[in-house]
A and B are shown apart, each in its own frame.
Chain A
């Protein structure tokens, strides 16, 4: 079933769906991927900017608080307790501020060491420290000196606050200037706010993208304030080592960050596979470089999840579709498969095979119904055919039997050949159908040959039945001595009687006197015969009467044709001359005569078959349209003289025989010596007959003498007892002493010595004795 429609449908549909679906999903993926990437980058940007802005706000808040404190101190004079109280409030009320100090310029303090109260958070408790001591020595601290030097607020580099909070921190320091009465501006104090690096790291830690992402925060000098590992805090960035990130790149990035130009650098992640990215920028508030390290894999993980999801979705959808296609196709083609297997059975002739149910109105159901109907029709048709075939073969069998019977009515069963010295005859009939209406017959009497050739109107069974009737009547008449014209009239009356179907026969009826060659014939509307004489063919003139069977008491004229030795006569039916070729042209009498003439040198049987072939060649592929009959009659040419006489065995037999024989031979100018020898031979043979045949007195002995070009033949016929003198006859021993010599039995010796051939045969209850003597060439002239 690999090539079945359903298999192909399933495969093709699934493939097509896979391509469409795959294409669609691919397109969707491309679009979605772009969207996801855009969204991701936007989200990252928002996240980063929010985190950065939080940090900026946070730092701004610190700066603002510190600046506010500084502005207050510019305006008003506070007692030391007042300053302390204010500082304490600032630290207590601002979580982000680890500690705050007001370092008053020593010029305005009572104490030489100056005055610098400092409050800071110590385990959640606001503690106080006075930085105005030798160990702290605030006037030497960068947070005191740097703003004064700069004349404006600054963030210090991170440092470890020894003697204060004891933590890593950075400080925002604001110088406070006052204006004296003279309008001179002078430094009063430096107000500071401390931020621990831990707090900074906590805020910076909000800046991250992904699990393993972390933020970077540097001081302006490049010290690490926030990074992944606490150990690296307070180190300079140049001592940090990232794989595959060289120092030059760091320098470059760092300098660009200080200038406010963001930069990005990608490098292989140090702790996981894939690429990592560093983005470095600058905080506006403090000018600190701030950065973010993240893994691209993690950033893109939503995209990867999406890819996996869409792949799974695609595969399962395709699978579902294949199954659906399979189910639908199978369901749709199941009747087709059943039909296919059913038709295979039908092809083997099993017409009773069940066809699938067809209830719907779709094409398959229509097809199934058509097959059902075809199957039914086929069954009926085959049944009809079987019946018809049986009928036909029965009919053919009957027709074949009829043909056999019909042919058996004709001499030679349809093709006859008769040949003897006096006459040769060949005849053949070939019906156009199994049976036909043509007929021929002949009958050889003692002195006459009776011939008939006829053609019943129409052909086929009806003609055959009428032909049977006609030929029976003809054969009844053939033995009688009735002349042909009278016989024809008789036949006509017999056939006309009760001939309600008005069938008719054309007939040629002839009687040939063999010895004289005189042919007397009558024609009942039959085609005139053709005569071949001396190499030329002519159509014989004839007077004809009406066809037989139509009206009674008709007159049929008698025709006479004198046949000469060597003549050949052809009597045929119109199946020959009215044979058509594919040009609708008739074979015709002229063509027949030409062909008849051309076949003149052949023996009659061969000539007859050649004429049949000629007609067949002419008609070619066309079926034979009418029955064909041809009868050829040869009146042989003889180059011999013959005389026959009959003798009774009474007195003076030898004398009578010899006087007849002598006269005959003398007439033929036979040499006297031969005549005397033949006299002797004749006497010896006749004497034998006389002695041994036992003929009755009224039975005659027939003697024939024949002279051919080079021989003389003597033939004796008698109806006596079978006796072969050359075998059975007594033959005396010659040359013996006269005493022992036998008297008698000498005649046979004489006959065998005086002739060259001796022959005896028994024929038709007759002894036929033939002897022949070769003679020298004689004058062949016809005797006078």
Chain B
């Protein structure tokens, strides 16, 4: 199974939205890693991995996400995973990958989060 990655940038809010579709596994992880590196390197405040269409993830895929999360955190930014399917969520839980990541169960939570960030920015 292949992986399709779609990146959408919201410059106003400095949010990069990376949608994953298919399988993030040993085969697809290397390409995805390059892609994600580019996105993270762009320096957005928030990088959201939208897993709404992600059917499968293995440790190789999680390794890429961990790496990115490490990078964003070290530069004070955030990486979030949203719309995880149950079995994807299970992998995350097994590997205890959640505490340091913003998690959004669905788009609504993500939108709410983005709104709160915008209000925060306006308030400043």
Q: Using Cβ atoms and an 8 Å threshold, which residues of chain B touch A741? A: 66, 70
Distance in Å from the Cβ of B28 to the closest Cβ of chain A? Answer: 8
Measured CB to CB, the nearest residue on chain B to A738 is B100
Min distance, Cβ A649 to any Cβ of chain B, angstroms: 11
Once A737-B100, A749-B94 are accepted as A-B contacts, the answer to whether A743 and B73 lie under 8 Å apart by CB is no
Q: Does A735 contact B (CB under 8 A)?
A: yes
Option from A654, A743, A753 in Cβ contact (under 8 Å) with B25: A654
Known contacts A655-B27, A680-B91, A738-B73: A747-B56 contact under CB 8 Å: no
Residue from A684, A738, A750 having most chain B Cβ neighbours under 10 A: A738
Q: Which residues of the other chain, A, contact B58 by a CB distance below 8 angstroms? A: 654, 680, 683-684, 687, 747, 750
Which of B56, B74, B96, B100 lies in contact with A679, CB distance below 8 A?
B56
Chain A: interface size category:
20 to 34
**Residue B96 contacts which of A654, A690, A734 (CB distance < 8 angstroms)?**
A734
Residue of B nearest to A691 (CB): B26
Quick check: is A676 within 8 A (CB to CB) of the other chain? Answer: yes
Q: Are the CB atoms of B96 and A738 closer together than 8 Å?
A: no
B62 at the interface (CB under 8 A from A): yes
B70 and A687 form a contact (CB under 8 A)? no
| CB-based contact B63/A746 at 8 Å | yes
- In the complex, how many angstroms separate the beta carbon of B21 from the nearest chain A beta carbon? 16
B56→A655 contact, CB < 8 A: no
- Interface residue? B39 (CB, 8 A): no
Using Cβ atoms and an 8 Å threshold, which residues of chain A touch B95?
A: 734, 746, 749-750
Interface assignment of B59: CB less than 8 Å from any CB of chain A: yes
Nearest B residue (CB) for A751: B59
Alpha-carbon distance A663/B94, docked complex (angstroms):
26
Cβ of A677 under 8 Å from chain B: yes
Contacts of B27 in A (CB 8 A): 651-655
Interface positions, chain B 98-115, Cβ under 8 Å from A, are 99-101
Name which residue of chain B comes closest to A746, CB basis.
B59
Q: Distance in Å from the Cβ of A563 to the closest Cβ of chain B?
A: 41
Chain B residues 2 to 16 lying within 8 A of chain A, measured CB to CB, are: none
**Which B residues from 59 to 82 make CB contacts under 8 A with A?**
59-60, 62-63, 66-67, 69-70, 73-74
Bound CA–CA A658/B57 (angstroms): 13
Q: Say if the beta carbon of B41 comes within 8 Å of chain A.
A: no
Find the B residue at minimum CB distance from A741.
Answer: B66
Partner pick for B66 among A653, A684, A738, A753, CB 8 A cutoff: A738
Residue of B69, B100, B101 contacting most chain A CB atoms (<10 Å): B100
Q: Let me know if A750 and B94 touch, CB within 8 A.
A: yes
Q: List, in ascending order, chain B residues with CB within 8 A of A676's CB.
A: 55-56, 87
Decide: B74 and A739 in contact? CB cutoff 8 A. yes
A751 to B60, alpha carbons, bound, how many Å? 13
Q: How far is the CA of A684 from the CA of B58 in the complex (A)?
A: 7
CB pair B26–A738 under 8 Å, yes or no, is: no
Instruction: Kindly report which residue of chain B lies nearest to residue A676, judged by CB atoms.
Output: B87
User: Are B63 and A744 in contact (CB-based, < 8 A)?
Assistant: yes
Tell yes or no: B1 within 8 A of A by CB: yes
User: Whole-angstrom distance between the alpha carbons of A750 and B59 in the complex?
Assistant: 8
Q: Which residues of B contact A181 (CB under 8 A)?
A: none
- Which of A654, A679, A750 is most buried by chain B, counting CB atoms within 10 A of its CB? A654
Interface residues of A in 594-635 (CB under 8 A from B): none
What chain A residues lie within 8 Å of B99 (beta carbons)? Answer: 735
Give complex CA distance A408, B18 in Å: 72
Q: Complex: how many Å from CA A743 to CA B64?
A: 8
Q: Which of chain B's residues have a CB closer than 8 A to the CB of A735? A: 96, 99
Q: Which residue of A is nearest B101, CB measured?
A: A738
Separation of A749 and B100 alpha carbons in the complex (Å) = 19
| Inter-chain contact B59/A747, CB cutoff 8 Å | yes
Given A655-B1, A677-B87, check contact A683 B25 (CB 8 Å): yes
Q: Within 8 Å CB of B1, what residues of A?
A: 655, 658
Given A744-B63, A746-B95, A687 contacting B56 (CB threshold 8 A): no
A136–B26 CA distance with the chains assembled, in angstroms: 208
Query: A77 in the interface, Cβ–Cβ < 8 Å?
Result: no
Nearest CB of chain A from residue B71's CB, rounded to whole Å? 10
- Interface flags, A15-28, vs B, CB<8A=1, else 0: 00000000000000
Interface members, chain A 690-745 (any B CB < 8 Å): 690, 734-735, 737-739, 741, 743-744
Query: A446: CB under 8 A from chain B?
Result: no
- A743 cross-chain contacts in B, Cβ below 8 A: 63, 66-67, 70
Rounded to whole Å, the gap between the CB of B34 and the closest CB of chain A is 16
Interface pair B26/A687, CB less than 8 Å apart = yes
Within the complex, the shortest CB–CB distance from B32 to chain A, in Å, comes to 13
A673 on interface, CB distance cutoff 8 Å: yes
A72: shortest Cβ distance to chain B, in Å?
Answer: 202
Name the 8 nearest CB pairs between A and B, nearest first.
A746-B59, A735-B96, A738-B100, A747-B59, A734-B96, A654-B26, A753-B94, A654-B27
Q: Residues of A at under 8 Å CB distance from B?
A: 651-655, 658, 673, 676-677, 679-680, 683-684, 686-687, 690, 734-735, 737-739, 741, 743-744, 746-747, 749-750, 753-754
Q: What are 24 of the A-B contact pairs (CB < 8 Å)?
A: A651-B27, A653-B26, A653-B27, A654-B25, A654-B26, A655-B1, A676-B55, A676-B56, A677-B87, A683-B26, A687-B26, A687-B58, A687-B60, A690-B26, A734-B96, A737-B100, A738-B66, A739-B70, A743-B66, A746-B63, A746-B95, A747-B59, A750-B91, A754-B94
Known: A738-B100, A747-B58. 19 other contacts (CB 8 A): A651-B27, A652-B27, A653-B27, A654-B27, A679-B56, A684-B59, A686-B26, A687-B59, A735-B96, A735-B99, A738-B66, A738-B70, A739-B74, A741-B66, A746-B59, A747-B59, A749-B94, A749-B95, A754-B94
